[in-house]
Amino acid sequence: MLESRRIYLPPLSLIGPGSLKELGEELKQLPYKKALFVTDKMLVKLGVAQKVIDVIESANVGVTVFDNVQPNPTVKNVNNGLKLLKENNCDVIITLGGGSPQDCGKAIGILATNGGDINDYEGIHKSKKVSLPILAINTTAGTASEVTINYVITDVERHIKMVMVDKNCLVSIAINDPELMLGKPASLTAATGMDALTHAIESYVCKGAFHWSDALALEAIKLIASSLEEAVHNGSNLEARSKMAWGQFIAGQSFSNAGLGFVHSLAHQLGGMYDMPHGVANAILLPHVERFNIPSCTHKLKKVARAMGVEVNDKNDLEGAEAAIKAIEKLSKAVGIPSGLKELGVKEEDFKIMAEHALDDVCTGGNPREVSLEDAIAIYKAAM
């Protein structure tokens, strides 16, 4: 018998080339007067932010810009954004960017209605009230924060990435316009794309996976595996960008409702300790964690290989699982991901403390295979 499930999705998602234009019409039907516009300085510099501001203002909604979001948003970023929101009496948050502005905007929205400190909300469903309304405009095909019930904020003092899983942070409108993704740097495209692939694979093999999330995850893997390399090497290819937008979008829906695993647990520590880009950390760790997971999800990893375009009909489950690992490594190399953590300055002396924190990470419980401290340290070593 199929079990009962609770599915979390944004009430409205706009996706596809030109979908940003629809935002203005949606805003005209909503009661908002003043938006806190959460983004980063690079998108302001590139003129992307102004393009969106023009759409917002065309709907007679005022805009207060907060563009001081760091690549791994911090507690300070959240507090500064909240202060600006209150000073300007903003009644809606509009986010523009990849996972960093999206996550920062969610944190600001939760504090705006719930109060307290953002550290109070680390963990699962800690808030009591729904966030201030958030309209999220995504510019990278990666984190899918615009469609998930997750957000991550860095506690710089503890060198920890705090993971929040909270149904109250779900945005009101999610926008994925691949035209906003055209021309993004190859390194960013590669990192965010491998992040999306990690979401799809982890949600497919995790303990919380179910029939709906499985279908989404496999389709996401197909889309990403068939388009990421082209999107990286030809950033102006709208078809490749569109396939990546769809791939990360549905991968996000999968993991938001099924969960993730130990790749993310380990990657969060690299972000907290070294400020490493999240997608890069995931990409380096993914094959090593899934190799560790083979005994617990052999058959599913064979299906991952097939979804990535590998012919596995003549292979048994173990051979198919190994083929999936090789396909991940091949794609990662093709898009220019560093070969190991050593290249990024990671030190073995930090493995133990990072491994201890990883075991406490909210994503660890979803991993298909139980992990010990020794296992975690060994995976970090293998990824060097």
Q: What is the DSSP letter of 40?
A: B
Domains and CATH numbers, the chain: 12-180 (3.40.50.1970), 186-382 (1.20.1090.10)
Q: What tokens were used for 82?
A: 């909240």
pLDDT of residue 347: 96
Per-residue pLDDT averaged across 61-78, rounded?
A: 95
Per-residue tokens: 178 = 């691949």
CB half-sphere exposure, 306, CA atoms < 13 A: 16
Per the structure block, which two tokens stand in for 48?
Answer: 């992307």
Structure confidence at residue 176 (pLDDT) = 96
Beta-carbon contacts of residue 269 (< 8 Å; ≥ 6 apart): 160, 161, 354, 355, 357, 358, 361
Residue 4 has a pLDDT of: 86
**Distance from C-alpha of 218 to C-alpha of 239, rounded to nearest angstrom:** 20
pLDDT, position 183: 84
**pLDDT above 90: residue 3:** no
Residue 144: predicted pLDDT: 94
Given a cut of 70, is residue 151 above it in pLDDT?
Answer: yes
Q: Which residue has the higher pLDDT, 1 or 164?
A: 164
> pLDDT per residue over 348-361, tens digit each?
999 999 999 999 99
Q: What is the mean pLDDT of residues 310-320?
A: 95
Alpha-carbon distance of 290 to 286, in angstroms, equals 6
How far apart are the C-alpha atoms of 101 and 335, rounded to whole Å? 24
Rounded to the nearest integer, the mean pLDDT of the chain is 96
Is residue 28 scored above 80 in pLDDT? yes
Q: What is the mean pLDDT of residues 306-318?
A: 95
Task: Please name the residue ranges forming H helices in 59-146.
Answer: 75-87, 99-114
pLDDT at 383 over 80: yes
Q: Per the structure block, which two tokens stand in for 75?
A: 């507690």
> What's the DSSP call for residue 132?
S
Mean pLDDT across 100-129: 96
Instruction: Judge whether residue 202 has pLDDT over 80.
Output: yes
Report how far apart, in Å, the C-alpha atoms of 350 and of each of 72, 182, 272, 356, 360 are: 20, 38, 12, 10, 16
Q: What residue has token string 């959240």? A: 78
| Positive or negative: CA dihedral 3, 321, 343, 229 | negative
pLDDT at 1: 59
pLDDT at 146 over 80: yes
- pLDDT per residue as tens digits for the range 33-49: 999 999 999 999 989 99
Whether residue 120 contacts residue 126, with contact meaning beta carbons closer than 8 Å, is answered with yes
Report which of 68, 64, 85, 86 is spatially closest to residue 76, judged by C-alpha positions: 68
**pLDDT exceeds 70 at position 366:** yes
Q: CB atoms < 10 A from the CB of 275, how many?
A: 14
Report how far residue 88's alpha carbon sits from residue 33's, in angstroms, rounded to the nearest whole number.
Answer: 11
Q: Hey, what are 100's tokens?
A: 């960093």
Residue 206: alpha-carbon gap to chain centroid: 16
Tell me which residue of 371, 194, 192 sits closest to 289, measured CA to CA. Answer: 371
Given pLDDT bands bounded at 50, 70 and 90, which one contains residue 126? Answer: very high
Give the pairing type, strands 134-138 and 92-97: parallel
- Please tell me the least confidently modeled range out of 152-161, 205-214, 370-379: 152-161
Q: Under a CB-based contact definition with an 8 Å cutoff, are residues 177 and 20 in contact?
A: yes
pTM score:
0.94
Residues 6+ apart with CB under 8 A from 250: 216, 219, 220, 223
Alpha helices, H only, the chain: 21-28, 41-45, 48-57, 75-87, 99-114, 186-205, 211-233, 238-258, 262-274, 278-307, 317-334, 351-360, 373-382
Can you name the residues that pair with 150 across neighbouring β-strands? 165
Residue 362's identity, in one-letter code, is V
Residue 51: the pLDDT is: 94
**Roughly how many angstroms between the first and final C-alpha of the chain, as a whole number?**
44
